[in-house]
Amino acid sequence: MSIQLNNQALWCEFGLIGGDWVSNGSQGFYHVVNPSDGKPIAELPRMGKTEAEGAIHAATKALPEWQAFTAKERALILRRWYEAILEHADDLAKIMTYEQGKPLHEAKAEILYAASFVEWYAEEGKRVHGEILQTSRLDQRHLVLKQPVGVGAGITPWNFPSAMLTRKVAPALAAGCTFILKPAEDTPMSALALARLAIHAGLPRGVLSVLTGSREDAIAIGPILSKSPLVRKLSFTGSAAVGKKLLEQSASTVKKVSLELGGCAPLIVFNDADIKVAVAGTMASKFRNAGQTCVCANRILVQKNIYNRFLEAIESAVSELKVGDGFEEGVTIGPLINKKGLEKVDEHVRDAERKGATLIKGGKPASHIGEQFYEPTILHNVEPSMLVMSEETFGPVLPIMSFDTEEEAIAIANDTPAGLAGYFFTQDAGRLFRVGEALEYGIVVANSGIFSTETIPFGGVKEAGLGREGARQGIEEWCETKFFCVGGL
């Protein structure tokens, strides 16, 4: 069954290999389901070794032609892709809500966010500059060339099925790389619709391939991409466990690797915070995409003097949330992506309760709405040893604990290997700089809960990942630096 779109051609029940839409999979077929009601919405080919090798071959073959395009010629294709995404934004948002579950207004916002990476890298591709160095010998000239890495591969997550795709694919294409994409098994329809628009915008055959498949197929495809000597760069967004495996596999070919492996973001509210700003920031950070965001606030630390006021204000804000199907008017919290996701959220809540936390709101599946919905939940009196405070929950759960001093808050906040994003709220200028500099995160946000745009370098420190996406740094990741010495002058 498919959804009604203005352009029905965007509903693609095929994979894409070397410019051909492929409806059969060497491993059979699997169903994509709507997380809102668990019903199948599409049947897609299950691809494996044969298709992955076919895509690598096609990307290798297409590489010389794509590299021979000038940066401006590539930019014109990306620009057309960007315009097509905007033109079809409503359809793309519907597809996303249908397969991912997020509220339609959030899906629309993500499509614009996704488009912004294509626009940005269409421009940025024209600004990949080398250098001419001062020479140390008069008979030589020393140049630094920036060249595309070669064939690239990307494995994208289900939580932002369109934006994480364009954040990888657009800089790679702009730099002159060809690309093989394996979108998450839960949300391939958004990826295929974007690929359809990219082909329509004039991307030559083989420059972009999309491998479809179930979770088991991803386990087979991952090592083929990461171990192939023809694939020169792998970019992955997803779990730390899978990321570490891909990094290990990529070592065999000393491949360039970018990883975005999630976080366990602290959000600190100091006594001197503007409470309205802190509550709005917490709500925006925590409940975007039902809390299924790598950068969402996972652990809320509130200083003693402001604790009760914060708790009261956040409880009232959480009461305004509406759980339901993403297509329903006014819904702010959609379903969780799958049963495993829901079970993890519930286990975190049960663990906190067992260890002494107090539940003040929610705390159970919203089964009256559907099997994969969870009530927006507030826990307080939590402690660092609880799962909600030490692991990424990926659900609509707000665990709140109190602290005394700035030093204590920083120590608790930094006590994690997942250094992706950290937030804090204060109106004290000295503290703003002290805490901003002390937090061990790739992204630190003061007095706001939302920061994502195409113009910032996104990425983590410690075990949260390698490399940066977005901004001017994002295209560097797809370039090699070559020293070129011209002698005999």
Binding to ligand SIN by residue 295, rule CB under 6 A?
A: yes
Q: Which of 95, 452, 471, 477 binds ligand SIN (CB under 6 A)?
A: 452
The backbone region for 177, taken as left when phi is positive above 0, alpha when psi lies in -120 to 50, beta otherwise, is beta
Minimal distance, residue 144 CB to ligand SIN, in Å: 31
User: x/- site string to ligand SIN, residues 243 to 282, per CB under 6 A?
Assistant: ----------------------------------------
Only segment of 137-145, 287-295, 356-364, 373-381 that touches ligand SIN (CB under 6 A):
287-295
* Structure-block tokens of residue 180: 């093989």
Q: Which is nearer to ligand SIN, 162 or 209 (CB)?
A: 162
Cα 17–Cα 7–Cα 20 angle in degrees, nearest 5:
15
Only segment of 130-138, 219-227, 291-299, 350-358 that touches ligand SIN (CB under 6 A):
291-299
Cα 169–Cα 170–Cα 174 angle in degrees, nearest 5:
120
User: x/- site string to ligand SIN, residues 456 to 485, per CB under 6 A?
Assistant: --x---------------------------
For residue 195, the 8-state DSSP code is H
Q: Is 179 helix (H, G, I), strand (E, B) or coil?
A: strand
Minimal distance, residue 160 CB to ligand SIN, in Å: 5
Q: Which is nearer to ligand SIN, 190 or 237 (CB)?
A: 237
CA distance 404 to 3: 53
User: x/- site string to ligand SIN, residues 158 to 187, per CB under 6 A?
Assistant: -xx--x------------------------
* Structure-block tokens of residue 194: 């974007």
DSSP H helices in 288-332: 307-319
User: x/- site string to ligand SIN, residues 405 to 444, per CB under 6 A?
Assistant: ----------------------------------------
By CB under 6 A, how many residues form the interface with ligand SIN? Answer: 9
* Structure-block tokens of residue 192: 């295929």
Minimal distance, residue 340 CB to ligand SIN, in Å: 18
CA distance 18 to 51: 10
Q: Which is nearer to ligand SIN, 163 or 210 (CB)?
A: 163
First-last CA distance in the chain: 69
Chain-centroid distance, C-alpha 452: 11
Q: Which residue in this structure is represented by tokens 């993500």? A: 110
Q: Which of 187, 190, 293, 416 binds ligand SIN (CB under 6 A)?
A: 293
Minimal distance, residue 485 CB to ligand SIN, in Å: 41
Minimal distance, residue 413 CB to ligand SIN, in Å: 18
* Contacts (Cβ under 8 Å, ≥6 apart) of 423: 265, 266, 267, 268, 281, 285, 297, 444, 445, 446, 448, 449
Of 213, 180, 36, nearest to 107 by C-alpha is 36
Q: Which is nearer to ligand SIN, 237 or 377 (CB)?
A: 237
Of 201, 189, 190, nearest to 166 by C-alpha is 190
Binding to ligand SIN by residue 287, rule CB under 6 A?
A: no
Minimal distance, residue 452 CB to ligand SIN, in Å: 3
CA distance 35 to 150: 37
CA distance 420 to 170: 22
Cα 62–Cα 68–Cα 70 angle in degrees, nearest 5:
125
Minimal distance, residue 187 CB to ligand SIN, in Å: 13
* Structure-block tokens of residue 101: 């579950």
Q: Which residue in this structure is represented by tokens 């894409």? A: 16
Of 393, 315, 380, nearest to 353 by C-alpha is 380
Binding to ligand SIN by residue 333, rule CB under 6 A?
A: no
Binding to ligand SIN by residue 294, rule CB under 6 A?
A: yes
Q: What are phi and psi of 448, to 5 degrees?
A: -160, 160
Minimal distance, residue 289 CB to ligand SIN, in Å: 8
Only segment of 210-218, 290-298, 328-336, 342-350 that touches ligand SIN (CB under 6 A):
290-298
Q: Which is nearer to ligand SIN, 163 or 409 (CB)?
A: 163
Q: Which is nearer to ligand SIN, 16 or 296 (CB)?
A: 296
Minimal distance, residue 163 CB to ligand SIN, in Å: 6
* C-beta neighbour count of 4 within 10 angstroms: 8
Binding to ligand SIN by residue 285, rule CB under 6 A?
A: no
Active site positions, annotated: 260, 294
Q: Which is nearer to ligand SIN, 101 or 150 (CB)?
A: 101
Residues that bind ligand SIN (CB under 6 A): 159-160, 163, 237, 293-295, 452, 458
